[in-house]
Amino acid sequence: MKTHLSGTHHITKGIAMSYLKALQKELFTKNVIGFVIGTVQPLSIVENKDFIKMVNGFDLFYKIPYTKTLKERILLAYEAGTEKIKNLLDNFVHLHNIKKEL
């Protein structure tokens, strides 16, 4: 398998590990965002020394996002969620109008 991945796809152990680390980092960031939102914390919690110490206890190499990054990510998630709900409601209204016509 290692030979196949390396020879055919040019995927080395280093590439695979960096991809895995990127996935882990993204998952960790999503969990931090979920914590901030779910516990109604101010964004500045990520600058709190005790919060940083706690997160470093989970993963010493994880770099906590800045408050600006968190704000941007939360806004993007909010906008995506709002758009999804709007589309669901539009579809519901459309289907409801079709049923009325029948």
- Domain map of the chain by residue range? 27-101
Return d(Cα 84, Cα 50) in angstroms, integer. Answer: 36
pLDDT of 52 reads 95
Return d(Cα 16, Cα 9) in angstroms, integer. Answer: 11
Q: Which residues contact 6 (CB under 8 A, 6 or more apart)?
A: 12
Model confidence pLDDT, tens digit, residues 11-66: 565 655 565 678 888 999 999 999 999 999 999 999 999 999 999 999 888 899 99
Question: Are 60 and 54 a contacting pair, CB within 8 Å?
Answer: no
* 78 CB burial (10 A radius; 0-12, 13-18, 19+): exposed
